[in-house]
Amino acid sequence: MTGAPTAILVEDATAIRLGLPALLPDITFTAAFARVEEALRDRPSADVAVLDLHLANGGQQDAAQGVAAVADLVAAGYRVCLYTQEERRFVLAACLAAGARGLIRKSAPLPEAAEAIAQVAAGRVVIPQALIALTELLVRRGSLTILSPRQRQVLAGRARGRTYTELSRSMHLSESTLRGYWHDLTAIVADHLQQTAPADIERCLGLAPGDLLDVWPARDGNPGAVQG
């Protein structure tokens, strides 16, 4: 990808829909929509679709949102980066399982948001802190077993809030090498969540059978009902 990343924005809040493109000048927003259905109707070309997770409101009660919106945009060929206030880590994990490649908090500083969008536009995966600890738990309980020893070290450090500078000193590796390990690890995690049955993850996390079914996309491509 050369030049500024291109993006479409799907956001029901008018102020954010109109203001975010102006606040992120390093991202070229080609279109903005209040509903996923409108974006799918027009299908503008873009490197990434920046998606609010909550789109149903009093004015558009029937709007697709949550996992369903992610799955629809992914099926249309978009890389999806969520821009959300959602905190529930299993909901966020379900969005990755549905094909989202990035998750950004609306409270994040603008440079951080722009960098995350650019990373997703370039084909990388951006995982928020809320999911790093969940990922480590999956690794420790044997659900995710294909990480290298170095990737496990990086994951453990990141799960505890350690910076790349701190990890570089303790692991005697350059920060660029550690970021490379992290990029590979996040891609593995995203692929794992998209391929693993919720029952297996429930078992690993000690949840009751069916606890994840209302937030986990079905394997036939018809997502579960995440609406919050």
pLDDT band at 214 (very low <50, low <70, confident <90, very high): confident
Residue 133's Cα: distance from chain center in Å?
15
The distance from CA 202 to its chain's CA centroid, rounded to whole angstroms, is: 20
Please tell me the predicted confidence (pLDDT) of residue 201: 85
- Domain assignments of the chain as residue spans, ordered by start: 6-121, 129-205
Task: Write a three-state SS string for 92-146.
Answer: HHHHHHCCCCEEEECCCCHHHHHHHHHHHHCCCCECCHHHHHHHHHHHHCCCCCC
Q: What tokens does 142 get?
A: 């044997």
Q: How far is CA 18 from CA 32, 154, 163, in A?
A: 8, 38, 34
Q: Decide if 95 contacts 67 (C-beta within 8 A).
A: yes
Mean pLDDT is lowest, of 33-37, 47-51, 159-163, 200-204, for 200-204
Mean pLDDT of 175-197: 90
Give pLDDT, residue 2: 61
**Quick one: what percent of the chain has pLDDT higher than 70?**
95
Taking the chain, what is the end-to-end CA distance rounded to the nearest angstrom?
34
Bridge partners, 102 (sequence order) = 81, 126
Average pLDDT for the chain: 88
Sign of the torsion angle spanned by Cα atoms 186, 189, 195, 197: negative
Measured CA to CA, the distance from residue 143 to residue 17 in angstroms comes to 39
CATH classification number, 129-205, choose in 1.10.10, 1.10.1060, 2.60.40, 2.60.120: 1.10.10
pLDDT of 1: 52
The predicted structure's pLDDT at residue 220: 56
Between 171 and 142, the more confident residue is 171
Domain covering 6-121 in this structure, CATH number? 3.40.50.2300
Write out the chain in H/E/C secondary structure. CCCCCEEEEECCCHHHHHHHHHHCCCCEEEEEECCHHHHHHHCCCCCEEEECCCCCCCCCCCCCCHHHHHHHHHHCCCCEEEEECCCCHHHHHHHHHCCCCEEEECCCCHHHHHHHHHHHHCCCCECCHHHHHHHHHHHHCCCCCCCCHHHHHHHHHHHCCCCHHHHHHHHCCCHHHHHHHHHHHHHHHHHHHHHCCHHHHHHHHCCCCCCCCCCCCCCCCCCCCCCC
> What are the pLDDT digits (tens) for 78-131?
999 999 998 888 888 889 999 999 999 999 999 999 999 999 999 999 987 778
pLDDT, tens only, 31-84: 999 999 999 999 999 999 999 988 888 888 888 888 899 999 999 999 999 999
